[in-house]
Each structure stands twice: as structure tokens, then as C-alpha cells.
Structure 1
Amino acid sequence: MNLYRKAIDSLGWGDAPAVVIGHKTPDGDSVMSALAYAYLMDALGHKTLARMAGKANNETVFAAKAFGIDLPETLLSIETAADPVRLILMDHSDYAQAVDGARNARILQVIDHHGIGDIAESKLLFAKYMPVGSTCSIVYTSYKELGVEITADVAKILFAGILSDTLNLIKVTTTDVDRQIYEELLQILANAWNMDISAARSKVNEIYKGMVVAAHDFSSMSDEEIFNSDAKDYVMGGAKFRLGSLDWKDSATINQFAERMLRVMPSIMRETGNQMIFCRVGYEEKTCMVYYGTDSAQTLSIAEKAFGKSKCPGMIFVNRRLSRKLDVIPMLTKALN
């Protein structure tokens, strides 16, 4: 018997379906990896339910429609019960980013491509971390290692997640593993679409262009919704903060956009119980770091230690494109510690 499968089977699955769920303010990778991993666990004989820990963003909705994927239902919190809900956490391993009530749940598995967070479980659990650009890439390797066929429907889901989290393979966190998986999934899609690989590549490139437009379409959103469309909560060095990550196409209006994000930070901070708020706004090949905190002097000190001198209140301009994962989080970690 496959030893990987034997380890999965040995977990305390219980009678009720386990919930496979990504982080709050879900992005495409978080949603698609949960869907694909739920299908994988079901194929192994374990009952699961894929869920989203928040509303899908515009890019994810567009990708789902383009690939013909039904998005999972939303689950904002889990109830405390005598028999705890069993969770499989995708694309995160911090309680601050997990669905409300996760501390009272039984964590069965963690599948992630970020740093190891503070999720704790007294019982045995299965965890799989890989240094790749997308959690969907990790899920792909699990299908292969467990000998479960990747159908055309599953390939669409995995491909959509990889497309989103690697920015169609151009994001700095993209690895050769992601690139190889991308090509293998693309071949499955080409066969399903009855077209050659070149035509399939053109098709997914067009889909990605639509995803980019959707991701930057803030026309129907409030400024608070824009900020929270890609924001995560963190606890570091005794400080609790929220970090948003956005991109702005019009460099001529970057200051105005940054000011809009700054204006909604106080209310977001009150609603979420954070001490500080940061937002990475990428534009051209540069970055504007927007910041706000209850203790303005302390927040300014931390922001300047992390990103450089602040030339105007609440903003620091950096002459390179910062990645939240590779740059901003390590810079804040160093400043806070």
C-alpha cells in the first residue's frame, strides 16, 4: 500500500465530513487548492467539504467562470461542539488567517507554501510544505504521489490556482516546479479542449488577461473592500497587524490611491482589533508602503526600520517592486523583532 496514503488514512477522520478551507480574504490559489484537495481526499474515501473563509475576489470569480468551475460555499466561522469540526487548512498555517473558531477545531492537515505559522494540534496531523509559488502545485504533487488521476475538471481547478498565484509564471516566487506542473496541466487542458498545445496556451493567456482586468476592477467596490480584497492578519513580535497587497496601474495617481487606502485604515483597524495596518501598493516597478497604527510614533518607527524614510505621513516609497511574501514580511519581521 502507498505509505503516503496510509499516513493520510491514519488520521482521526471521524464521521462528519472534514472541512477543506483556505485563509480569510481568499485568493484564487486558496480557493482552488481547497477544491482540488477536497476532491483528492474524496477519491481516497474520506468525506470532505470544500469551503471559502470569505467572499471570493473579482479575479477568482472571473477565473471560475472562464474555466467552468463551481466555487465552494462560504464558511465564516465554525461552531464549538463536543465533537470538534475537523479542518484541513490550505495556503496558510496561522490562526490569524484561519476561519473564525479554528482554535477550537481538530486540525487534520496543513498544506501550504508559506512560512510555518502558529497552528498547533495536540494530536497527530499531516503537514506538507513546499517551496513553490502556489499551493495548487503542492496539491498536484499529492495527486501524483497518491496515484490519483488528474481529470480535466481537476486540471482546470489546479491550473486556475497556479495561474493566479504565479501571475502566469512571471511572479518572482515562481519556481521550476511550478513551470513544469503548468506545462503538464496545460497538456491535459489541450486534450480536453481538443486543440493543440499552442492553441491551448493562447486560450489560457487570454483568460489570464481577463483575470488581470478583473483583479484591477475596483469600480463596484468601496475603498474598504478594495483594501480587504487581498489582506492577511499576522502576529509578530507581540504586535498584531493586517497587511494588504494591491497593485495600481496608473502611476500618475498612485498618491491619491495610497491616500484613499490610508483613510480607511483606522476603521479597518478598529473592526479587526489590529494594532497596526500596512498596505503594499505595487505600481510600475516600484512600491508604495502605506501604514497606520494606534501608536503613530511606534508605527512610524517600525515602518521606517522596515522600508526606509517616510517623506509624507503614512507613506513610504520604495524604488523596487516588493513581494509580500519574499520582501515585506521578512522586512517587517526584522523591524518588529
Structure 2
Amino acid sequence: MKSAKPIYTIGHRNPDTDSICSAIGYAHLKQAMGENVVPARAGKVNAETKYALEHFKVEKPVLLTDLYPRVKDVMLDSKIVVRQHDTLRRLGEVMREHDLRSVPVTDSKGVMVGIVTVSDLAKRYFQELGMQNLADMRVRYRDVIAATDSKVLVSGEEGDFIKGNVRIAAGSISMIKNIINENDVVLVGDRHDETLIDIVNQGISCLVVTGSGRVSADVIEAAEAKGMFVLSTPYDTYTVARLINQCVPIRRIMHENPVCFKPLDMLSDIKGTMDETNYRNYPVVENGKLVGVVSRDNLMVPEREQVILVDHNERGQAVEGIEEAKIVEIVDHHRLGGIQTSEPIFTHAEPVGCTATIVANMHWQKDIDIPASIAGLLLSAIISDTVLFKSPTCTEYDKKTAQRLAEIAGVDINEYGMEMLKAGSGIGDMTPSEIAKNDLKEFQIGDYRIIVSQISVMDTKEVMDLEPQLIDAMQKICDHDGFDMSLVMVTDILEEATYLLFTGSPKTLIGEAFKKDASGTHVYLPGVMSRKKQIIPPLSEAVKCISK
């Protein structure tokens, strides 16, 4: 049985500190309420967020690059397997007991080596028209002993492989001698001692006396002298012959190199392979080991991932494959962006400076204590989103919440806040492409698909010195992903101002929105720090004017 899947709480792509920390904080709230909720992230953790996580000793959330259904979502436990050295009799027992039509085959270490189907077993039985040369099948004496429920009267080497054929001793002794060769396994009913001794003296490797026939001391003595097996089985000769044929190891009839899938393979990618091969079950392998099976019968209606969106509510900003998931809640502080759900859901949105402000107060409203580490992360998110309360998006509610969180976390807001902002303010070894995608969010503004990234620094010069390379990287993103415009906010934390770099069209949108000369590749916007409140609203109004 598969365990219940968790609900993921996750922020937007290219996550910032609020997106990561609010996901962790809200997961804590839901867990305290008894729900199986796990924090996740939709991208790489930036330097600022990394500083906060390490300072408060909290692990990064699990990375979800997309929510497309994968093999792991429909995979069944593979507790029913057979080993390659197991016999066909064992295979038949497993198939009957569990009503299976195919069974994965592994070696002794659990490494996947093949698959065997009921059709393979049936083909083997059709081959029973004549006794098989067991020397070619690598059948062991110990398997024959087990399959025929034999009592060992004289023991040879049980681990040895049978080197001859299986012969049935019927008719006169002269006829029997004509069909028996050295190393054969001979099946014989209740015969006179002289006949049995003559058979033993033919140099056979094993004498199987069927029907619990009598075996005298003289026969046993003769067999011991030859170093061969003498077995006594309760079954009749015909049954014993069939049982020995079932001692063939599974690896002799299995399909080697079967069609396998990996847990992270997307269902959309494997359907074509399933249609071409048309098997019922397929092994799922990871690092060579069998971890499960996927059945074509379970492929049609996989259980969808359940997600809680925090710090965003627009499809363009959500993790890839969000349309394949079931959104169960939204907690956000941005404009409503038009995500559609199949049924009513819980939504909590407030016009505050940070989602973490909402998350913290939801804890207190439900009388759930916030641990110091979680309080520290929620505080970090507020400091980041409000740029230490300098952003125009900051409210008194944010400030009061931050103060209460700082007391729980045991930190000085200004001292810790400046250290965290410094940690995230340098570009370090970031490439122009990475800067162009930093904290990237996508917006539909009028008829235009626009992306707006933001990087906050103490000194804008190190970024602006890269302006030509940045513009080139921004244009490549537009060309590759089909955006109309790419904007990058280079925000000076100390000066409380932003250089807005832009590429694409229409550039008149920039000029109209900010009343600036947009003939170049950037405009300087003193007092501008907030994308949400000072960039997107003017652009939304400007698009109405230029489209008239």
C-alpha cells in the first residue's frame, strides 16, 4: 500500500526570501493542526535566503521543479519478485498465489535483471513433449530434491549441476541400457535389485526411485561406491518427470533487458512506449535496483499533487505543471492574477508588505506557538520584502508583526536585518543571465507578456557596469521564451532608488508609465523599491493609454 501523499506548500518560481520562508512557516502551521503538509520550493535558494536559513539552522525546502505526473505517482510497491535462480515451479506458485501475469526478476542483491510472464511459462510447458537436456538448463540436484519432495538415500554434491538427460527406465534391462548414458538422471519404479544395480553401474549421476519404491542395502552400497545420488520420492514416474522439468531456473526463460522506467519519468513520456510494447506491467528501476512496478491499468487516472500556493497566485509565476495539480489553498499579498480552480478553496490575501506577516498572524489567531527558528525565518521574509521597512508596501501591521517575531527569535531587527540584506546584496559570481532571472516574476499586462526581475544591492555600480551583457541576456530570455519585454530592477537599498533596465517592446510603455525618456536601455527611478506597488501598477495604467 502507498502512504498518503503530502500536500506541498510552495512559493513562486525563482523564489525570494518571502516565498521560501512563508512556505516553511505555513507548513509548520498546518503540521501543528495535524495536516500532512511539506514545504517546497520552485527554484534555487538565493544568497539572502541562504543566509537566513543557515542563521536559524533550518533546512532548505524540498525542490519541486514541476508538478507534472510522474511514474512515482502511480508506482505500485514491488514486494512480489522472483530471483533469477528460482525455479519455474517457484514462479508458478508465485503467479497462482498472487494472480499475476508477469513478475520482475532480480539477482540476490535486488538488482533488476529481467521480467518473466505467464506466456513464457506456458511456452516452457509446450516444450515438455520430450524430456529436456538439463545440462543446458543449469539445473541443480538440490532443486530436483526439493521439487520432488525426495528423501535422499545416498547423497552426492547437492550444489552440482546436472550434466546429463532425464531418462525413464521402462522395459527390459537391455532396452534401458540402450537409452542410458553417463551422468543421466534415471527415473525408475519398483524394480528388482539386480536391475537397479545394473542401472547404477551405467555411470549415471542420480537414481530417482518413484512411488516410494523399495531400495535395498545392496543398491545403496553400489551407489555409494559410485558417489552418485539415490532419491526416493512418493510421486509416480510421470509426475516426477514433470516436476524435474519445473526445476529449470527462471533466468533461462525470462526476458533480459526488459522495458523499464524510472520513478521521475513523466507519464506523458512513457505512454508512447507503453502503446508500442503493450505489456501490462513495467518494472520501475532506480540505480539499477527494482523499486516498484507501474501498471498500464493504473496509468489513466493518477492521483494529483495537492499544493498550497504562498506569495503568488498567478499561473505564470507558479511552478511548472501547476495545471496538473490540485490547488487547495492560496495565501498571498499580491494582486489577484486569475488562477482558476475546479472547486472553491480557502484563500487568504491581505494588502500587507509580506506574506510572512499573514502567516505569522495566522499562527497567533489559532493560538499556535511559533518556534524561534520559524519566527526568525518569517522575520527575515518581512525584512526582505519591505527592505527593512523602507519599501512603500510596508504597513504598520508588518512592523508590529516583525517586532513580535524578533522577540521570539531573539534578534535585533536592525542589526540582523542589515547583515541579511548585505549577504544578499552582492552579485558575487552571478552571471548576467542569472542576474536577469533573479527573483523573476511573469505578468500579463494588457496584451503583453512581461517579466520583471529584481536584485537589491548596496552598490548599484557593480551591476550597472554589466549593463550591455545584462541587456543581451534579457533579450535572449525574451526571444527564447516568447516574452514581449524583460525588465530588471537594480535596487539600491541605501539610496532607496532603482535603475530599471528594459528590453523588448513596446518601449513606449516604459516612457508612459514612468514619464521618462525610454529611448535607451534603462531609466533611473528615485524612491522606487517595490515591484508590486511602484512598477506593476504604473505599467498596468500605461498600457491602457498606449493601446487607445
TM-score (structure 2 length as normaliser): 0.54
Note the C-alpha offset of 1:112.
0.3
Note the C-alpha offset of 1:231.
1.5
User: Which of 57, 60, 68 does residue 71 from structure 1 map onto?
Assistant: 60
Match of 1:167 in 2: 387
Match of 1:8 in 2: none
Cα–Cα, structure 1 residues 157 and 318, in superposed 2: closer, same or farther, change >3 Å?
closer
Note the C-alpha offset of 1:166.
2.0
Note the C-alpha offset of 1:156.
2.1
Cα–Cα, structure 1 residues 255 and 312, in superposed 2: closer, same or farther, change >3 Å?
farther
Query: Take 1:334 and 1:285, find their aligned partners in 2: how far apart are those partners?
Result: 23
Query: Take 1:248 and 1:258, find their aligned partners in 2: how far apart are those partners?
Result: 15
Match of 2:520 in 1: 313
Match of 2:530 in 1: 323
Match of 1:111 in 2: 331
User: Which of 408, 411, 416 does residue 188 from structure 1 map onto?
Assistant: 408
Q: Could you tell me whether the CA contact under 8 Å between 1:66 and 1:207 is conserved in 2?
A: no
Match of 2:475 in 1: 266
Q: Could you tell me whether the CA contact under 8 Å between 1:67 and 1:160 is conserved in 2?
A: no
- Amino acid across the alignment from 2:500: M
Cα–Cα, structure 1 residues 116 and 311, in superposed 2: closer, same or farther, change >3 Å?
closer
Match of 2:421 in 1: 212
Q: Does 1:277 align with 2:486?
A: yes
Match of 1:150 in 2: 370
Q: Could you tell me whether the CA contact under 8 Å between 2:14 and 2:441 is conserved in 1?
A: yes
Query: Take 1:286 and 1:178, find their aligned partners in 2: how far apart are those partners?
Result: 21
Q: Could you tell me whether the CA contact under 8 Å between 1:63 and 1:207 is conserved in 2?
A: no
Note the C-alpha offset of 1:253.
6.4
Query: Take 1:82 and 1:238, find their aligned partners in 2: how far apart are those partners?
Result: 35
Match of 2:25 in 1: 36
Query: Take 1:263 and 1:272, find their aligned partners in 2: how far apart are those partners?
Result: 14
Instruction: Give aligned pairs, total.
Output: 309
Identity of aligned residues (%): 30
Match of 1:140 in 2: 360
Cα–Cα, structure 1 residues 256 and 142, in superposed 2: closer, same or farther, change >3 Å?
same
RMSD value, Cα: 2.1
Q: Could you tell me whether the CA contact under 8 Å between 2:442 and 2:451 is conserved in 1?
A: yes
- Amino acid across the alignment from 2:540: T
More displaced stretch, 36-45 vs 205-214? 205-214
Q: Could you tell me whether the CA contact under 8 Å between 2:14 and 2:44 is conserved in 1?
A: yes
Higher relative contact order, chain-length normalized (CA < 8 Å, sep 6+): 2
Q: Does 1:292 align with 2:523?
A: no
Match of 1:334 in 2: 541
* Structure that is richer in helix per residue: 1
Query: Take 1:292 and 1:187, find their aligned partners in 2: how far apart are those partners?
Result: 44
The runs of 5 or more residues in structure 1 that have no matched partner are 1-13, 191-199
More displaced stretch, 264-273 vs 226-235? 264-273
Q: Could you tell me whether the CA contact under 8 Å between 1:24 and 1:53 is conserved in 2?
A: yes
Match of 2:282 in 1: none
The runs of 5 or more residues in structure 2 that have no matched partner are 70-300
Note the C-alpha offset of 1:44.
1.2
More displaced stretch, 29-38 vs 151-160? 151-160
Query: Take 1:176 and 1:241, find their aligned partners in 2: how far apart are those partners?
Result: 31
Match of 1:99 in 2: 319
